Structure formats: structure tokens, C-alpha cells
Amino acid sequence: MILCLATNNQGKINELKSLLSNLAIQIVGLKEIGCLIDLPETGHTFQENSLQKAQYVFDNFKIPCIADDSGLQIAALNGEPGIYSARYSGEHGDDKANIAKVLEKLSGIKNRNANFKTVVTYIGVDGQSLFFEGVIDGSIAEKPFGSNGFGYDPIFIPFGYSETFAEIAADIKNKISHRAKAVQGLLAYLKSR
């Protein structure tokens, strides 16, 4: 089975390929199916954005699809950056600028609790939409550490660890991350089919 992951983010594609490696599924990104536009993300929640992206791919390319919407939610910032995580600093996908903005806003703030949240939408060949959610709690580091991962990984320290997601080995991150938790639900569903 070919399954499109509705993203051009190679980090997300690699992560999902690793998480689903024991299934007979070929994961492809948007470029591989010829989708060269920025997918719509006009929802007000992770679930709305995730569904919107998956539905666009399914409706226009007639291929089973997985889409996720993920974000960092910081308690002291009333849940920011939330659904705006990828474009928090203004330009979509500018990880360094997004991290800099978070650290600037948290300057002098003691409560650095945060979580990463993912909602994964799966639309199968039948057109039915299913949702899988994953959350991991942690805190925000004072400055970036590590060079692995992407997005806010260099400043997010999951509870129970002393290293950021950008320092933790990929195989560990792929077991504990918000995306891993959501995909585990999807994986259980796919295995049951």
C-alpha cells in the first residue's frame, strides 16, 4: 500500500518511515505525488488543520493519506505558539527564528512547562477520517542544545530526561514523542485491518 504523508518536511517523513517500518506500506511525501502547493491550514485546532490537509490530498490525488498538525504549547505563554508553531516568527519553517522568539518571550519566566501535541488524521481508501492524538510533557531549556531533530527539538526537554529532543537518540525519540504516540494509535489500527 502507498500512503501519502501530507508534508514536504523530510524530518517528518523520515520519522514516520521509521515508525511504520515493520508494515508493508510505502510512505511518500507531497512532492512524490505531484502536490506542489502549500496545503491549507486555516483551522483553529490541530485536528481541524490535520483534517483539512488530509482531505485536500485525498480529494485531489485519490490516495490514502496521513496528515498531522503538531505544535508546541507553553503554559506561561497561554499555549503559544500552538497551531502557529511552524510560523511563530512570521516565516513558515524558520526554526531558528521561532526558537529565538520563544526564548525571548520566556526570558525571566520561571515556569517553563510545555508540551508537544500532535493530531494525526488518517484517510483510508474508503474516504473515512480517523484521528489519533499524542502529547508529551516537558519543559523549555534556557538555550538550544543538540543538532538532531527539527523545529523546537533543541529547546524541548521531555519530563524524565535531562537532554533536549535534539540531543536524544532518534530511536528513543521515536518511542516517546508526541508524534510517536499518535502514530502508535494509527499503527494499532492499521495492524488490525
95 carries an active-site annotation: no
Cβ pair 94, 102 in contact under 8 A: no
Of 191, 154, 144, 148, nearest to 172 by C-alpha is 148
Spatial neighbors of 160 by CB under 8 A, at least 6 apart, are none
CA torsion 144→95→28→22, rounded to 10°? 20
CA 140-153-187 angle, to 5 degrees, is 120
* 8-state DSSP, 1: -
Cβ pair 121, 50 in contact under 8 A: yes
Q: What is the spatial distance between Cα 182 and Cα 123, in angstroms, rounded to a whole number?
A: 15
Write down the catalytic residue from 68, 69, 95, 153.
69
Does residue 71 sit in helix, strand or coil? strand
Residue 138 φ/ψ, nearest 5 degrees: -175, -155
- Which residues are identified as catalytic? 69
